[in-house]
Amino acid sequence: MNRVYTFRVAASLAVVVLSAVAPFSRARAQAPGRDQGASGQTESLAGLARTMGSGPQAPITILMAPAVQRELKLTDAQKHKIFGLSVSATQKQRDQFQSIFLGGDGAGGMNNPQGMLAARDGLRRENDQAISRILEDSQKERFNQIVLRTEGPLAVARPDVAAKLGLKDTQRQYVQSIMTQMQQNQFLLFARMRQGAAMGQVGPGQAAQLRQMMEKARDGAVQQLSKVIDAKQKAAFNKMLGEPFDLAKLDPDATPKADADPEAPAASTPKPSQDPVTAEASADEASTSEKAAKSSPRSARKKGRSKAKTTQ
């Protein structure tokens, strides 16, 4: 489970929402052109590799989410281009994963985390540039806000975000040191898992355990970053997030709420002005009024007969 954070102006860092970007990555892994590998287990390791740092394909993965496409009001032509980009990026990442993570201890292997990070960041930049050519300016602004929400405080390591927040050189050095330590810890965990598996065939229990350890390393980095960024910069970061967006919509297993079928019968939707108690009380009042209405003619007839007898 991925976590979504926002900076508080206070000294501590608040965890605002729990979301699920990773499950969406698993769903996208079954898109056309996606090879599952040996029983899908190699892709499990690749998925874990994407959790290191901010993830090389996070933006294109997020942009494939139907809820995001609706939020951005993408045209059919844009959706077609994005799908093609996703298939291409997935192929490149799989090739990168095979050559770097499973390719032995060469210059690009696990013994060279700097080279691995450089390759990952290069792929991210390539995807970002392609996305920028597809989206309109207004769409880019909103999409960047959504991506920033998924990355959370770890995004301050990005040069563009650091510049907007006005990070000083000393702060940038601390941030990079924290990120490097987190990534090294994650790579170490990944290397141990690799040594205990054969060609990426990792059991579901092991993969889940490794993911939890990686998230723990990420949480630790977030807590350290909260001590580096001052209150003014935290407020600026929160402002950069833009309007709220429910990141739970990125989870394909989540039950749709706001995106419910607009053609659903209106009768199934309770009136906003009535809570259950008020609704029940109104029903009782209606029932009482109905009974009173039915009894009124009988009462009138009885009174009429009584009056007639008195007159006689």
Is 258 within a domain? no
Is 104 within a domain? yes
The residue ranking higher by pLDDT, 49 or 56, is 49
Is 259 within a domain? no
Whether 243 and 189 map to the same domain: the answer is yes
pLDDT band at 200 (very low <50, low <70, confident <90, very high): low
Task: Report pTM.
Answer: 0.62
Alpha-carbon gap, residue 298 to 306, rounded angstroms: 12
Whether 94 and 239 map to the same domain: the answer is yes
Whether 279 and 217 map to the same domain: the answer is no
Q: What is the pLDDT of residue 37?
A: 38
Whether 49 and 139 map to the same domain: the answer is yes
**End-to-end Cα separation, the chain, in angstroms:** 88
10: which DSSP letter? S
Q: What is the pLDDT of residue 299?
A: 52
Whether 154 and 290 map to the same domain: the answer is no
Mean pLDDT of the chain: 69
Whether 126 and 214 map to the same domain: the answer is yes
Asked if 240 contacts 148 with a C-beta cutoff of 8 angstroms, the reply is: yes
- Average pLDDT for residues 57-80, to the nearest whole number? 92
Whether 74 and 128 map to the same domain: the answer is yes
Kindly write down the DSSP assignment for every residue of 202-228, as one continuous string: --HHHHHHHHHHHHHHHHHHHHHHHHH
Whether 75 and 160 map to the same domain: the answer is yes
Whether 243 and 281 map to the same domain: the answer is no
Whether 157 and 75 map to the same domain: the answer is yes
Q: What is the pLDDT of residue 46?
A: 52
Is 261 within a domain? no
Residue 134: domain span = 2-250
The total of structural domains in the chain comes to: 2
Whether 242 and 276 map to the same domain: the answer is no
Estimate to the nearest angstrom the gap between the alpha carbon of 195 and the chain centroid: 31
109: which DSSP letter? S
Alpha-carbon gap, residue 62 to 52, rounded angstroms: 16
Q: What is the pLDDT of residues 248-290, one digit of tens each?
A: 888 755 444 433 333 333 333 333 333 333 344 444 444 545 5
